[in-house]
Amino acid sequence: MVFIQGGCVYIMTNKRHTVLYVGVTSDLTGRVWEHKTHFYPDSFTAKYQCEKLVYYCFYPRIEEAIAVEKAVKGGNRKAKIKLINELNPDWIDLYDKLIEE
């Protein structure tokens, strides 16, 4: 039996909101923690200090999440900002809310 689990598309940013990183994961809490702690010190998010989770959206199938991630990554900055503003107009760090759930 093959288990197909869902996934999340997420966007991280730095303190000044000058850098946006789009990712996909099946473990959002764990993956964001890795970004925040620079678990991978040579990664893009560590280099640009993208430690703030400003957007995420869950999809029931990981394949859907991957397709959406590719589309979001392929879009321009304005489209990414629109996504963030629709969910999180104050650009607060959603990680604390996430770990409370």
Q: What is the pLDDT of residues 19-61, one digit of tens each?
A: 999 999 999 999 999 999 999 999 999 999 999 999 999 999 9
Is the domain spanning 7-100 CATH 3.40.1440.10? The answer is: yes
pLDDT at 23: 98
Query: In sequence order, what DSSP letters do the residues of the chain get, joined into one string?
Result: ------EEEEEEE-TTS--EEEEEES-HHHHHHHHHHTSSTTSHHHHTT--EEEEEEEESSHHHHHHHHHHHHHS-HHHHHHHHHHH-TT----HHHHHH-
pLDDT at 18: 97
The CA-CA-CA angle for residues 47, 50, 55, to 5°, reads 150
pLDDT at 4: 56
12: which strand partners? 21, 53
Q: Locate the domains of the chain by residue range.
A: 7-100
Neighbouring CB atoms inside 10 A of 22's CB total: 19
pTM over 0.85: yes
